[in-house]
Amino acid sequence: MKQLLLGLTILCSSVVYSQDYWLQKDTVKGSAKCAATAFVANEQAYVVTGLDEFGYKRKMASYNAQQDDWDTETALGGDEGDGLERVLATSFTLQTDGQDKGYLCLGQTPTIAYMNDMWEYNPATQAWSQKANFIGAARRSAVAFVVNNLAYVGTGQSASGLHKDFYTYDATSNTWEQIADFAGSARRAAVAFSMDQFGFLGTGNDGVERNDFWMYDPQTENWIVKAAFPGAPRSGACGWAAFPVCYLGTGEDANNTFHNDLWEYNYYLNAWTQRANLPGPARKNAIAFALNGWGFIGTGYNNGLFYDDLWAYSGTAGLASQESSALVLFPNPSNAQLNLKWEGPMPQIQCTSMLGQEVPIQVTKTDQLLQFTISTLPTGTYNLAIRSEKGAHQFTFEKCSGY
């Protein structure tokens, strides 16, 4: 959990100023493609596998954001990788031996509809090595996120249908373990990422296109419903996280309409805001990643067209932290009442538990103070979100049992 409590007093608030613009970058090396997968390791992004107009691929390229340049890397499986070409694989990054390594699993090859193999890429040696097979049903169109250097992989489609089961992968022991199922419906082609020690999963297709959005708490193994994605329900979308916000966009809806919209989810406010559309064509099965303070979307497919373009979005660089003595929540911790210096109209206020569940809180306003009565809250840590025309501010406070 990111620590916003500094000692016993919170001194920091955050205001999100979205830069909200896109820049076109160097086209992805290789042929235009869709249904590839991407991971970030050692401040470089890697795009591997996919489908182009000639067939399935296992090629890989790396992207350096500072140089805005792509390089060819070792294809999946290396010199012995023939037959590993695939689409709709799942990838993630873990640290082993003190260095980032990329992992790719599952997917569909030209001859095998559902795969369960697992591969590790070491950027230092530029080599792939095969790891323990996924222990669930072989599948494609699954999702993955990482919390505390543990990968969480689940959902997807297998020969028996759609899935909602989830598994963890520990790179240190090279082992898989089944955990609690996803609490939503079994589905394929969803979007997942992690923020602040939690996993997030949304959209996808369970027979119909979905717009639900969920948070997973690894400590309790609970899935918690969050504010639904407000765009058209869809599958084949993509996204990335940049705490305390994440982004989700593109994809295909139930009317076979392709989208180029982008939506921002705020972790503290449990609310979505539409941002500037991707300037390139609408698409599905694109890749997305976060790198050097920017979000990136590239490749994809739309009605017979494959894409090799890459676009960088500035919003991930738009979190400005401000330390302000005028915005101090005090006394903190407290067992009865909190105060915040505040001038102007009553703002919108939301109090949530650390699991994201909204809790009632009584608020009164004087000329220069907001006063929060917390005596009825159970002992614990809470988030307090305040929204006004001045901006959005987030605080964390501790409800204690007494002094």
Rounded Cα–Cα distance for residues 239 and 193 (Å): 8
Least confident of 202-206, 284-288, 355-359, 390-394: 390-394
β-pair type (245-249, 238-242)? antiparallel
Residue 370 pLDDT > 70: yes
- DSSP codes of every residue in 303-337: TTEEB--EEEEGGGG-EEEEE-TTS-EESSSBSSE
pTM: 0.78
For residues 385 and 372, is the Cβ–Cβ distance under 8 A?
Answer: no
Q: Which helix (H) or strand (E) holds 94?
A: strand 90-96
Least confident of 102-116, 168-182, 185-199, 305-319: 305-319
Average confidence score pLDDT of the chain = 90
Among residues 370, 396, 395, the alpha carbon closest in space to that of 15 is found at 395
pLDDT-derived band at 390 (thresholds 50, 70, 90) equals low
Residue 322 pLDDT > 80: no
Q: Using a pLDDT cut of 90, give the percent of the chain over it.
A: 74
Least confident of 108-112, 179-183, 317-321: 317-321
Residue 53 pLDDT > 60: yes
Residue 298 pLDDT > 70: yes
pLDDT tens digits for range 127-157 = 999 999 999 999 999 999 999 999 999 999 9
For residues 298 and 250, is the Cβ–Cβ distance under 8 A?
Answer: no
**Those residues with Cβ within 8 angstroms of residue 355's Cβ, 6 or more apart along the chain or in another chain:** 215, 217, 220, 222, 224
Overall average pLDDT of the 57-85 stretch: 97
What is the model's pLDDT at position 315?
A: 79
Q: Which residues pair with 92 in a beta bridge?
A: 103
Distances (CA, A) of 292 to 236, 296, 313: 25, 10, 11
3-state secondary structure of 78: helix
pLDDT tens digits for range 239-287 = 999 988 999 999 999 999 999 999 999 988 899 999 999 999 999 999 9
